[in-house]
Amino acid sequence: MIIVAIAATIIFAGCIEEKAPDITPPLTPVTQGYIQSYNHEFNYGYDYPEAWTMHGPDEFQLTDGVQNVEMFVDEPEGTSITIIAKTNNWKNWDEVINAYREIHPETIVKEKIIEVNGVKGYEFTHWDPSMNSKSKVVIFSVDNMIYEFGCYASEDLYGASEGIFDHVINSFNVQ
């Protein structure tokens, strides 16, 4: 009788147990060599190079409105892509552009407005002579959130990595 009561308790407990929602991003190959990631909490996704090492938000200190950080590194060279989701305090694109121009005075070598999957973005490339590095940064602003894609490489590896950078940026989608 005790065994029946224990079994009934276990079965009943299993019936009322609420299952936590699955917040694991899908790991579905989209384009050969890339994995599709989707952040359900902040409703955005992108592809990333499957051979690169991923560093998640728990490895970063989140400050100044930053809600999420993910970084992917091509280990031997140190080439990296960082995706940051943060709250947006800017009122228009002029404020966004001016803020980044202030951060990188005299080092922006190219800039333009782009559109990816229906979302407007500000893209700029800058060169850091002190680090002999080049980077492409794209800022998307959607519903009080900024999604910042930072792609970094040494100047001699930048050209070889730019196609990877563009693939990750062009795969961005937000719900």
Domain boundaries, the chain: 22-174
Topology adopted by domain 22-174: Protein Transport Mog1p; Chain A (3.40.1000)
Residue 101 has pLDDT above 90, yes or no: no
Residue 17's pLDDT band (cuts 50, 70, 90): very low
Per-residue pLDDT tens over the stretch 35-50: 999 999 999 999 999 9
For residues 89 and 98, the answer to whether their CB atoms sit within 8 Å is: no
- Per-residue pLDDT band for 29 (boundaries 50, 70, 90) equals low
pTM summary value: 0.79
pLDDT at 167: 96
